[in-house]
Structure 1
């Protein structure tokens, strides 16, 4: 379960409804009772259905049917329905649809990437970076979890991941290796991982006592050879590949034998295509 605050839900509504719905107001239909239904148009991994239901409830609608985040649906499957007056349904319509289309798009993209990667290497895991689209982090995290990935880092406070920028201030890789015992003693419950761009540094780190190496923008062929050699030196070393991993090359990177793939691509997925229908009074024959 990912906690998404009510304040976040209210912000989504307010972005679309700063004051009132002028169209519904001028048509004079606000007090008429109806039903709204959300349906997949393509195969979709659901995400943030619960938050979309919260949007509906927040404006005064009653949710009458919902399928949970993480379910994989074929095209043409209803998954969320609510009743209420036309004013409430129209207030919730676009905030809920926008949330669902982004979140389900990310979840579906993540799921497809996981399938591609694990077809090549059943043990590899996908980890998404913290480079989310600004303002979307809570729903992005929930969506990638729904698709079968995990966050690589939720923020800089939780992991020790050393980049070249850090090493520049530390005096280089050799200075870092000298200080590594002290660093590890201070964060005994954490893994210490270093990002590298060349094989010479990777091999130097493999015998240094480091917990893991993250390879940045190393081509898959060279990486496969390096992973084989590094694992023979240090079988317990965690190995990650990052940088430019996408649908076209993820299987090749997975096949290198790395433990995990670090990527940003899911956050920029094509939105899911979610159909929204509203009817007055009688409702739909099939709510789900």
Structure 2
């Protein structure tokens, strides 16, 4: 049974994507005088993938006037030759939505597939390890990146500066006093419902900020993560340890095994798209 996931983009945003590709009509289809001829388009997985963005693709065809049928949903594992979507309409309509819809699915599925690979590796290191995607997505794609993370069984580290408390060295530079306890207390007083996350660059900084809820270790090796986890435990800290910077599918298991329970990564945003094959057919 297909369970479509909620759309990450509303009709206005989807129409903008369509208008970007076809701003003044489809010159080729119209010049060939084939735009009114009936046809069908079918999208298949060419690569193995975690499907993502297929609901948006179907909606794009519908907005253009086609009849679209989903055969897969975001979050589904798809082997090569899996039928994802089919749509029927006049050729002009199908050509209008074709590339925008295909490219969206390919890009979203690339992000989701890479995130799922990292999540799978992390769980081999510890069954409770969670992968979280950073906000370093391609500008303008945040909503789709969130959907891809969820499709992969991962999470978003933060979707924006308004959402979470994350103290970087660049914040601490502007503090008048060098008192971690006072800074943490101020954050909790102003945002009592938020967890305090502090990024550190060595074991000494981790211990100085050990009262935070989450200690984020920036560009630590797995061995350094293990050392820091042990030091925090010895100091009585109950902070969750997150590893950030350079986390990927090749080392996620090692980071989780070392004691990082949250693995923060930008790698999925740079993943190559997963190939989606398109097949057209004439209608009757």
| Bin of the TM-score, shorter chain as denominator length | over 0.9
Partner of 1:263: 265
Summarize the alignment of residues 159-174 of structure 1 with structure 2, pairs less than 5 Å apart: 159-171=164-176, 174=178
Q: Partner of 1:63: helix, strand, or coil?
A: strand
Give unmatched runs, 5+ long, in structure 1: 283-288
CA distance, structure 1, for counterparts of residue 134 and residue 183 of structure 2: 27
Contact 2:167 2:198 in 1 (8 A): yes
Summarize the alignment of residues 205-244 of structure 1 with structure 2, pairs less than 5 Å apart: 205-206=209-210, 209-234=211-236, 236-244=238-246
Report the alpha carbon displacement of residue 205 of structure 1 after superposing the two structures with TM. 1.7
Q: Partner of 1:170: helix, strand, or coil?
A: coil
Number of matched pairs:
279
User: Which of 116, 139, 147 does residue 134 from structure 1 map onto?
Assistant: 139
CA distance, structure 2, for counterparts of residue 276 and residue 23 of structure 1: 18
Q: Partner of 1:224: helix, strand, or coil?
A: helix
Partner of 2:276: 274
Partner of 1:285: none
Report the alpha carbon displacement of residue 248 of structure 1 after superposing the two structures with TM. 2.5
**1:32 is the counterpart of 2:37:** yes
Note closer, same or farther for the CA distance 1:97–1:83 as it changes in structure 2 (3 Å cut): same
Report the alpha carbon displacement of residue 105 of structure 1 after superposing the two structures with TM. 0.8
User: Which of 187, 199, 203 does residue 207 from structure 2 map onto?
Assistant: 203
CA distance, structure 1, for counterparts of residue 209 and residue 227 of structure 2: 16
Deviates more, 1:1-10 or 1:17-26: 1-10
Contact 1:170 1:176 in 2 (8 A): no
Contact 2:180 2:209 in 1 (8 A): no
What TM-score, normalized to structure 2?
Answer: 0.94
Q: Partner of 1:213: helix, strand, or coil?
A: strand
Question: Structure 1 segments of 4 or more deviating over 6 A?
Answer: none
Contact 1:160 1:193 in 2 (8 A): yes
After superposition, the C-alpha distances for 1:193-249 in whole angstroms (9 at most, x for unaligned) are 11000111111222xx32111010111111112112313433531111101112232
Give unmatched runs, 5+ long, in structure 2: 1-5
**1:69 is the counterpart of 2:74:** yes
Contact 1:192 1:212 in 2 (8 A): yes
Summarize the alignment of residues 98-113 of structure 1 with structure 2, pairs less than 5 Å apart: 98-113=103-118
CA distance, structure 2, for counterparts of residue 12 and residue 265 of structure 1: 25
Q: Partner of 1:123: helix, strand, or coil?
A: coil
CA distance, structure 2, for counterparts of residue 137 and residue 180 of structure 1: 29
CA distance, structure 2, for counterparts of residue 170 and residue 242 of structure 1: 24
CA distance, structure 2, for counterparts of residue 116 and residue 57 of structure 1: 38
Note closer, same or farther for the CA distance 1:2–1:221 as it changes in structure 2 (3 Å cut): farther
Contact 1:167 1:176 in 2 (8 A): no
Contact 1:101 1:272 in 2 (8 A): yes
